[in-house]
Chains A and B, each alone.
Chain A
Amino acid sequence: MENGFSSPRNESFPAGLRVLVVDDDPTWLKILEKMLKKCSYDVTTCHLARDALTLLRERKDGYDIVISDVNMPDMDGFKLLEHVGLEMDLPVIMMSVDGETSKVMKGVQHGACDYLLKPIRMKELRNIWQHVFRKKIHEIRDIESHDSMDVLQMSINGSDLSDDGYMFGEDLNSGRKRKDYENKNDDKDFGDHSSPKKHRVVWSVDLHQKFVKAVNQIGFDNNIGHELHWTSTTFLPLRLISPFISTQQQLDLMRHIRLLQHWLLISPIFKLMAVKDLWNEAAACFIFPSNGAMTYSVCLAEVGPKKILDLMNVPWLTRENVASHLQKYRLYLSRLQKEPDSKALGGTKHSDLTPKDPAASFALQSSINLNQSDAANSYQFCGSNFLGQDVDIKHLEGDVKGIVSETKRTLTADVTSPLKTKNSQSFSHSFVHEAEVNYSAFDSTSWSENPEQEHKPLLQLEDGYSQLSPHGPHHIHNDQLQADPSISSVISLTGRDISGSIEIKPLYTEYKSKHVSHVSPAESVVDTIPVQPKSHPVIHQSFEPISTAILSMKSQGLSCITDIESCQRNLILASDTNFAAFNEDLTVWLPGDCYSMTFGQNFDFTEYNNDPGFMAELPFHLYDTFSDYHLDATECPIVDQGLFIA
């Protein structure tokens, strides 16, 4: 759907609002049609849910809102709700003569933006345009706040945070914690940060937003391949490229991604590949393998501090400030890229992960299975997540879905992408940060591989899911504590799944036993998280808290898709406590318990959290997912505030 309210189908919005009404009761259908016509809306009626879906699919941008009854013979209203949210990312209003709280709650959980009781009053219908409007606003907001979140993440993870006096908002407790740990362990990782201690620049939310705006502006201006076209390349997490593309493009991309996720869910023939982006260039595209080359690509050009400074127009800011901030931002982005992998890696233990932990499964799956042809599995997995229903992530196997359906997915996707890029075609230059790439690849596979094997995942891109070289032994790799990020990312991905607590547990345990304290970040980490687990990962798996927290994705399921972004974001935000733990642990998002881990993380899991990711929310709330893992865009928490640096 295009920017509805900005594109005036009619100047006199909400008149002309395109409503699709679905109800098996012919009497109600006729009444509603008449009522909506009286509101000057453009009404289309449907007797059957499947007809409605067909209509919606045929005319992608043909409707603004859907009103559907809950009890229908051919398809459960909630199911329809999920589909609509997932595929079309439209607001859906449920109706029923039954006002039972549990039913209403179910509706909300599945992403309904409202629940009307029959008999329905005219005034209730007159107001439905607000849902359309609100959704648009949220999408835009998510897109924008997404940037902040990312940055925030970066700040949190950067080892020089303390130096620069970065501070995080309340919701970034975990970030803080992580920061502490990181400070101790990570200095070497962030060698490239050049913020001078002497001169504290406080990157407030506003300032950062100005920064991102400038970056975007430049990126946009310099952008060569800006048009979103379909190519067969790899996939980058939307969050990485979103700063560089316009809002409309982001919305389109998100929708595409959501759709992609949905397809992945329903069809095992698609594979999602990821490619790493470069510092200076971000390329994002995703692929539909083989058959139809539905890929999406966006290229960005380089941005430099001087230009950013000029655009920002903040008198007291120096070029050095911007340069260092830019560096961090890049680190953040790169970390985001890697993290998906690492998170995914965490998934190697997916066997351990109990399916019931959707979040976990996603994470793991994505990382692990990407390579495998678990596609089927993953698809399954995704599917369930997508539907938000109870995210039953069976296992991350091929969590492709996770990637898809969850905002996080994108993260993982990213991770692998670097790897892939190597092999893939399009971004030959994208391996600029190969190290990072490896790192990220590593991350994802870290769980399962040894540092030396880092490169393996890369190679695997070919298949599309190199992300984590799942094939590797699933053992936790010491050096690659980096896996944490992946885990976190993984988790964040799964965040979507509110129902499941991430069961990363097994991973950690294993991790613990295997690599108790050996962390040699140096090799693998390019700049990412120095895996130095200071202490044994005690992370005991209780990812649960995190997953739940993070995942506040709300079971929105489909609607989540839209919220997926938000979910992602929320993921991060939600699990503040978790985050903290996470940082330490390196890998996994682990729930609050993670605090005990001290691995180093630098993984910015905040990022992940905030990273709406490509999740679709199932629903193609792409944006939502990006911004917060909440499935519900409206629910995205805090993300924006994250950036505050005191």
Chain B
Amino acid sequence: MEHITTPKVENVKLLDRYTNRKAANGTLYLTATHLIYVDASAEVRKETWILHHHIATVEKLPLTTAGCPLLIHCKNFHVAHFVIGQERDCHEVYTSLLKLSQPVKPEDLYAFSYNPKMSKDNREIGWKLIDLKVDYQRMGIPNDYWEITDANKDYEVCNTYPPEIVVPRAANKATVIGSSRFRSRGRIPVLSYLYKENNAAICRCSQPLSGFSARCLEDEQMLQAIREANPGSPFMYVVDTRPKLNAIANRAAGKGYENEDNYDNIRFKFIGIENIHVMRNSLQKLLEVCETKSPSMSDFLTGLENSGWLRHIKAVMDAGVFLAKAVKDEKASVLVHCSDGWDRTAQVCSLASLLLDPFYRTFKGFMVLIEKEWIAMGHKFSHRCGHLDGDPKEVSPVFTQFIECVWQLMQQFPCTFEFNERFLLEIHDHVYSCQFGNFLGTCHKEREDLKIFEKTHSLWPFLLQKKQEFRNPLYRGFTAYKELQPNTLPFSFQFWCGMYNRFDKGMHPKQCVLDHLLSCMSQKMKLEDNASELENKLPFLDGPLPTEACSFPKMGSASKTPMLNTPQDYEGEPPPVLTNGTAVWDVEVMSDVDQKNKENLSKHQDLHDLKDTFGVLDSEAKDGKPQHP
């Protein structure tokens, strides 16, 4: 709280990002965890909540006649443009937010103060909800070829791996230790996924310390052990997910990639996914496109192309598809790495698992997948998401890209996921929110040191509580689809408006099919209950029931999804000008009634600024009633 000098500022305007509609006027509050804006000009109380941890950047723009503008960009792609009357107030809010949004000490993260009034027991049970051992059991491990070893229990092998790892039985302790010395940061090859049908495995590691000529017998034995754990295939793939040039450049630093001559029966392959810096810049460009005011179609498509974002998404997807095909069609095991094996490798391995195994497309399975491939294997969430004040060059949207790949798959295979888009967005929000312990720190060891299992809550039980709103009404069940083979031609990838323009409700479909179907689902349950209740009351009934549609009332209003709908800025920018140079909405010739209409027209009425991001005020968001003009 010591950072908050001005907890409340009145007469603050909130500008609309796209149109010149009249700005909202209200009061801004700073709490220990949130920035809250209460719109006083709206008829219904409208609140905008921004979690401090969600703030990516705060900018003070040059003073205008209206006041001092404060522009906030959030990590969940919410953009808020405030104008504060007094320069001094603005500055105080600005400096407070700078400190609040990027704490220096881990103990200041929200998760350590978040108290959902849950018993200690329940909190502990929450952390036990996801047990990776169970997932390995599901794959049939331990078996003749693979074992779960505690070789890393004191982080001797690798301090960014979890204590328990899965390695080939044939690889003894010496092999493991030897291999770890030859792999960047000791990240040895371990099992990510075993495809039970044919014993082909996906394994992951970091780059070898091969330099120009170095080799390591234990590492070669390790790969041999992995290959031989799949007797059905005479060879295995080694996939380096970096562009070849990057990998070659690494050799000069004593790192690099596997020499095919030194390893028996491997097929080595590069898949050019760019590094974290390219991805960060790409996202930056994409967001600039998304934020452009009244862009033409051409501006937008050119910007989308120049950002390279969809090209990168496609590269990640292609790599995932390659892995899945190698395992399923070629029955070959695959070892995947990039540089450190915690960014691209995590994306690609988790995507391949998702393509191969329908379990990972369920609620539980998706949580397991994230825990396993991302959290346990040391994806540096804290650095990549910029949880703490740190090196901005470490920040990169690696996990966002994975989430987007899942969304792209949902577009192609709408019946194969148990959960819907909102589940993805919710997870994405919490990766940045620091409200739960799961994504804090950079690896298992660090989370232990931070005592997150003692001091914080796990996200997953909270998500499961909201299962009803996150489920996919079109899901055909666990057994309906096995492996997915997505189309990866460029036209199969869409711009994800629901993510990058998520808070610009005006751009989204005004009627939501998902809402409609979800209400169908809940209605269905109610009706089934009704029917069985009524049937019980009619014990003497014989003969078939009339099933013809009868004069029951139209679908209850509850099933109607609210439609947010007002015209937008169709006149374009700048407003069309007549030949004589006057603006179209020329005031002089207008009658009073026209004048009033004009105001309505130009401010386009409340397009329902559903700016509130955080679930806390979700009820507010659903407030948009159908607008009858």
Our verdict on whether A and B bind, yes or no, reads no
Q: Which A residues are within 8 Å of any B CB, using their own CB?
A: none
